[in-house]
Every structure is written in structure tokens, then in C-alpha cells.
Amino acid sequence: AVKNELAKVETLNTFEDFKNNLTQLVFHSQAPLPFSFSVEPDMKDAIHYSLGFSGPGLILPDTTYYNDEHPRKKELLDFWAKNTSEILKTFDVENAEEIAKSALKFDALLVPSANTSEEWAKYAELYHPISTDSFVSKVKNLDLKSLIKDLVKTEPDKVIVYEDRFYESFDLLINEENWSLIKAWMLTKIARGATSFFNEDLRILGGAYGRFLSNVQEARSQEKHQLDLTESYFSQVIGLFYGKKYFGEAAKADVKRMVTAMIKVYQARLSKNEWLSQETAEKAIEKLDAITPFIGFPDKLPEIYSRLKTTSGSLYEDALKFDEILTARTFEKFSEDVDKTSWHMPAHMVNAYYSPDSNTIVFPAAILQAPFYSLEQSSSQNYGGIGAVIAHEISHAFDNNGAQFDKEGNLNKWWLDKDYEAFEEKQKEMIALFDGVETEVGPANGKLIVSENIADQGGITAALTAAKDEKDVDLKAFF
Ligand SMILES: [Zn+2]
């Protein structure tokens, strides 16, 4: 079956063949294209979807790894090349070493046009809409007009470009001259992606580069691997099972009460705020009041799960079919309204998030457990745990990115200019506070982590205020 997937690319002898098979590759193959279209809520009109465009991503974790001074650049690329050629050989691919090297050559060409991690971190600033007509006419080497129509079955008025430099360099990168490198790059991606589905030796080989990158000695156990794979297709299904089994109505009501208390703390802080004008503070309170909390687990599963059925008797074949169904679903969504009640995290994940496009805060059941939270713990323990998490997520609504979205979830400046300038000054202070701080993995990059630092700082101070409002406050337990 893997050979069949590889053959779908191997048989594309020329760039012309590639050009004529774009739609087929997207919907019916494991081959990634060397560019990417996505369907996401439109940042300026978050009830509708927009078609996004970006580059294909890099092999190393981000652009900084490609600097010649980066201490791990060479060893990581060498390891990847060796590991990838071994994987290709297990699928009887000829010229495996050559293919791995060519893939790295294409990857190297992509580096200057890829967004840096700092650019990705300021995601509200990556929204660059271009009319579909001018978007497609700038690209001469491929017929993106037809491809877009095949993908979303309609002609959208605009495309949102998230990686400007990649778009600007499109024809310089994706062309006949580079076709053999692109082809090699696609083959390596198919082969590496298939290693999870067969025997134990291949699985261990497929994970070797990832372990080398993150300095992990041992491979995941077979049992955890099985959970990972199942989760990669059925995360919400597992989450709903977990939520119903381990999270009850009493805890839900209690957490809801804590969310309300935390929102009250923010309301009080905003009404006493001294550096914002009253006008901006009132708008902030409106946004705060409009935040919708989701607690525990969702009411229902997305319909897509009923379409995923294991029928072939082969894990890989089933995965291929699931991927086809999921890709079709991604583009099918384009013409629907955004379902703002859907969850982007399963209930069994120990994590939480704020979604700027729906102005929601989401707390999966698994983080609503000790030590973060328990009905058996004191109020101070709970405020120091889940209270700080709740307030952290609320703060994201007002961090350097979240602050640019209004209460409906649209990118829309609701601040007075002078207030936003004052906020930018405060961001600079937060960046400076953390920039260069030594950590066990090297000095911190203040710009990269500023949104999390804002959320942590806001979160812990608001949770502390709420804890102090309770009669049984115990600061030792809080911290
Ligand atoms: Zn966060």
C-alpha cells in the first residue's frame, strides 16, 4: 500500500504531470503539496470561513536552526538524511540516499521565505487578504484558479496569505527546474508518514529523528503508540468517554462559579484601571462579559466521526481512507457557517485554551482534576491551581494578539489609539523582563513568549485576588 502511495508521485515524470494532478494529489494521496491551502474562520468575519495560503513548513523546527552558527544544524540534517534514506530503503525505493539529499536541498530553498517563529507568534498580524483574481494571476507556474475551485467548489473573493515571502517567491521555488527536488521531498514525506502503521522495527526507525531532535532515549511504548494513533483520528471520541466517566455535574457547577468569580475580578480591575481611558475600559468589560466558557466536555461529537469506519483490515489502508474523508471535510466546511460551539481540544487533555475567533475559554475535564482542581481541595488550593489557569485563559483575550479581536471574535480595533500605544509600551516591558533569561534549554526569547507571559502574569494576580476574597483564604496553600 505504501508503494502504491509512492508510485502516485514516482509516476509524475515532469513538472507538467505534477501540474495536471494537483487536485488528485490533495484529495487522493498521502503526498503533501509544496504549499498549503487551509480553511479557517476569517479573522475579520469569524462566522464565515476563509481560504488561507501558506508555505509547506520546514524539516528542522524553525528558521533559526538553519543559521550556520546554530550548534545543531549539521547533526540534525545529517541524522535526518541518514534516517530518511533508511526508511525509503525499507519501502524498496531506489536511490534512497540521493532522494533524501534532494529533499533537503528543496527544504533549504524554502528557508528564506518561511515565516520565523516570532512572525508566527504574532498571528493577528499575518492576516493578508488578496483578491482571488490577483492571487492566482501572480502565480504563473501553476493553475491555482482551477485548484481553488476544485478544493472549495466555489470561487472565493479572497485568499488570506499567511506567509508573504513564500507567496512572493512562489514561482522561483515551485517550478520545472526544481521539480526533481520537489518530487524527492514529497516521496520522503510519504515514506516517513507511513512508518507508524506497520511493524515495530519500522516504527522505532520512523521515530528516531524525533527522539534525536528532542534528546529522548527511549521510544514510546507500543501501548502508548496505539493510543497516540487512535487519538490522532478519534480524539474527541476518547475525550467524550473520559469526560462522561470522570467529570460530574457538581464539579461543572463549581468550576462555573469560579469562572464567574474570576470574571468579576477582571471587571473590578478594569473599572479601577488608571492607564486606560474610560472608553477603552468599557469596551474591554463588554468583551470580558461576552466570553463564553466551555467546561468539562462538549454536548455532542462532530458528525465527521460517524463517517470514519475501520473496514479494510489494514491499519494503513484505514488511515488512508480516514485522511481522504478528513481532507474532503476540511474543504467542504468552506461554504458552511463556523460552528462556534465546537471544541479544538479533547476532554481528556490536560490543557486549556482561549479562542480569539469565538471569544471562548475552554477547560477540558482532564485539567479539572487534582492537583489543579478537586471538590476535596480548599478554595485557596483550587484558586492557585485551576483559578490561575482560568484567569490565564481570560487574559489571552487581552494579550498582544487577543487584544486585537473584538467581542464577536473579529480582528477589529476597539481601543483608542493612545490606549493601544500605552499597551504596546507595556508589552515591551514584558518582553524585556523575560528576554535573555537563562533556562535549561538556553536563553528565553522575550518576543516569542510574550503572550504566555502576559497571560501568566494576569492569571496569577487575578487568581490571588479571588482567593483572598474567600473566608478560608490560605496563601501557602494557594502558592
Ligand atoms: Zn496560554
Q: How far is the CA of 117 from the centre of ligand 1 (A)?
A: 16
Residue 225, in any domain of the structure? no
Nearest Cα to Cα of residue 326 among 50, 28, 58: 28
* pLDDT, tens only, 165-189: 999 999 999 999 999 999 999 999 9
Cell of 424: 504596546
SS3 (DSSP) at 34: coil
Q: Please report whether residue 320 resides in a domain.
A: no
Q: Are 390 and 372 spatial neighbours (Cβ–Cβ below 8 Å)?
A: no
Q: Is residue 192 part of a domain?
A: yes
Share of the chain above pLDDT 70, in %: 100
The span from the CA of 90 to the CA of 348, in Å, is 36
Indicate whether 15 belongs to any domain.
Answer: yes
pLDDT at 361 over 90: yes
CATH number at residue 28: 1.10.1380.10
Q: How does pLDDT run across 13-36, given as a tens digit for each residue?
A: 999 999 999 999 999 999 999 999
Q: Residue 385 Cα, ligand 1 centroid: separation in angstroms?
A: 14
d(CA 30, CA 2): 9
Q: Is residue 327 part of a domain?
A: no
Say if residue 371 is preceded by a cis peptide, omega within 30 of 0: yes
Do 465 and 400 sit in the same domain of this protein?
A: yes
Residue 187 and residue 294 in one domain: no
Question: What spacing in Å lies between the alpha carbon of 353 and ligand 1's midpoint?
Answer: 7
436 Cα to the center of ligand 1, angstroms:
20
Q: Are residues 207 and 258 in the same domain?
A: no
Q: What is the pLDDT of residues 84-143, one digit of tens each?
A: 999 999 999 999 999 999 999 999 999 999 999 999 999 999 999 999 999 999 999 999
Q: Average the pLDDT over 326-339 and give the result.
A: 97
Q: 454 alpha carbon to ligand 1 midpoint, in Å?
A: 9
Q: Estimate to the nearest angstrom the gap between the alpha carbon of 120 and the chain centroid.
A: 10
At 441, the pLDDT band (50, 70, 90 cuts) reads: confident
In this prediction, residue 393 carries a pLDDT of 97
Helix (H, G, I), strand (E, B) or coil at 235: helix
Domain stop point among 203, 219, 235: 219
* Domain end marker among 158, 184, 219: 219
Determine what percent of the chain is predicted with pLDDT higher than 90: 97
Residue 148, in any domain of the structure: yes
CA of 432 to the centre of ligand 1 (A): 19
- For residues 181 and 250, membership in a common domain is answered with no
Does residue 322 sit within a domain? Answer: no
**98, three cell numbers:** 540521493
5 pLDDT above the threshold of 90? yes
Domain containing residue 256: CATH number = 3.40.390.10
Q: What is the mean pLDDT of residues 398-423?
A: 97
Domain check: are 134 and 21 in the same one? yes
**Domain co-membership, 408 together with 466:** yes
The arithmetic mean of pLDDT across residues 302-330, rounded, is 96
What integer is the mean pLDDT of 385-404?
A: 96
For the chain, what is the mean pLDDT? Answer: 96
Picking from 176, 200, 219, the residue at the C-terminal end of a domain is 219
Residues 148, 37, single domain; the answer is yes
Which residue, among 405, 295, 392, has the nearest Cα to 341 in the 3D structure? Answer: 295
Q: Find out whether 81 and 190 touch, Cβ atoms under 8 Å.
A: no
CA of 17 to the centre of ligand 1 (A): 45
Say whether both 183 and 255 belong to one domain.
no
Q: 235 in a domain, yes or no?
A: no
Average pLDDT over residues 187-198: 97
Average pLDDT over residues 68-97: 97
Total tally of structural domains belonging to the chain? 2
CA 346 to centroid of ligand 1, rounded, Å: 17
Determine the distance separating the centroid of ligand 1 and the alpha carbon of 373, expressed in angstroms.
18
Segment 274-301 shows an average pLDDT of 96
The alpha carbon of 190 and the centre of ligand 1 are apart by a number of angstroms equal to: 33
H/E stretch holding 363: strand 360-364
Which residues are known catalytic residues? 393, 456
- C-alpha cell of residue 329: 471535510
Per-residue model confidence (pLDDT) at position 248: 87
Per-residue pLDDT at 298: 94
Q: What range defines the domain where residue 198 resides?
A: 2-219
Give the distance (Å) from ligand 1 centre to CA of residue 452: 5
Which amino acid type is present at position 479?
Answer: F
Do 138 and 259 belong together in one domain?
no
Cell 488578496 belongs to: 130
For ligand 1, the distance from its centroid to the CA atom of residue 151, given in whole angstroms, is 33
Same domain (yes/no): 257, 212: no
Strand-by-strand arrangement of the 353-355 sheet: 292-296, 360-364, 353-355
**Distance from the alpha carbon of residue 26 to the mean position of ligand 1, in angstroms:** 33
Q: Are both 105 and 34 inside the same structural domain? A: yes
pLDDT confidence of residue 175: 98
Is 214 in the same domain as 268?
A: no
Contact 411, 44 (CB under 8 A): yes
| Contacts (Cβ under 8 Å, ≥6 apart) of 229 | 196, 197, 315
> 53 near 136, Cβ under 8 Å?
no
Give residue 369 CA to ligand 1 midpoint distance, Å.
19
